[in-house]
């Protein structure tokens, strides 16, 4: 498609919302649908890490972590709000942003891992459920890795 005619098709409509406020979770998708008539891509980027031993993390911190990283995204959040729209169109793409604790647990990240594992499990199930309908689901997993030292590089090369 020529660049000049791509403007409307490539236009975006970013919406800032506070996922802790139910009215905003409901209003944001409606605003996008009113502006464009459809949604092509939902990017779920809400989340944060929580560091602490499971027994030391306060209950309200655990609740906030699970709500932010999973429930408000997937439960009564944006995915469930837009699924009927994607199903009816037979098209759409859900892009869920996760991180390393979503596929491997680490000491001090038990609660964070629980929230991310939930999002990853949901994403994998939805991908299979929605694929026949033309709706894609992608998990983007960021991973923190330090550069290997010289001896680590040699070790990997020797064993690989």
At residue 154, the pLDDT reads: 39
pLDDT reported for residue 91: 96
pLDDT at 88: 95
On whether residue 44 sits in a domain, the answer given is: yes
Q: For the chain, how many structural domains are there in total?
A: 1
Closest Cα partner for 115 from 76, 79, 61, 78? 61
- Predicted confidence at residue 55, as pLDDT, reads 94
Q: Is residue 148 part of a domain?
A: no
Q: Is residue 158 part of a domain?
A: no
pTM score, two decimals?
0.76
Inter-CA distances, 50 with 1, 6, 40, 106, Å: 44, 41, 31, 12
- List the chain pLDDT tens, one digit each, 160 residues: 333 333 455 567 677 788 888 888 888 888 888 888 999 999 888 888 888 999 999 999 999 999 888 888 776 578 888 999 999 999 999 999 888 878 888 899 999 999 999 999 999 999 999 999 999 999 998 876 655 554 443 333 343 4
Helix (H, G, I), strand (E, B) or coil at 160: coil
Domain assignment present for residue 45? The answer is: yes
Say if 34 falls within a structural domain.
no
Domain-embedded: residue 10: no
What is the residue range of 93's domain? 39-143
Tokens 């995915």 sit at which residue?
79
- Does residue 73 belong to any structural domain of this protein? yes
In a domain, 65, yes or no: yes
Q: CATH no. for residue 116?
A: 3.40.50.720
């Amino acid at each position: 498609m020529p660049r000049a005619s791509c403007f409307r098709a490539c236009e975006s409509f970013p919406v800032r919302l506070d996922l802790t406020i139910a009215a905003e979770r409901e209003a944001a998708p409606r605003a996008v649908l009113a502006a464009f008539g459809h949604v092509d891509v939902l990017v779920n980027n809400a989340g944060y890490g929580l560091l602490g031993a499971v027994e030391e993390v306060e209950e309200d911190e655990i609740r906030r972590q699970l709500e932010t990283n999973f429930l408000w995204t997937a439960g009564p959040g944006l995915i469930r709000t837009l699924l009927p729209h994607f199903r009816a169109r037979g098209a759409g793409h859900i892009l869920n942003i996760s991180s390393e604790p979503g596929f491997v647990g680490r000491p001090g990240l038990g609660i964070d891992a629980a929230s991310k594992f939930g999002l990853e499990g949901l994403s994998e199930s939805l991908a299979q459920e929605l694929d026949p309908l033309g709706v894609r689901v992608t998990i983007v997993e960021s991973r923190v890795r330090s550069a290997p030292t010289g001896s680590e590089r040699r070790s990997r090369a020797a064993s690989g």
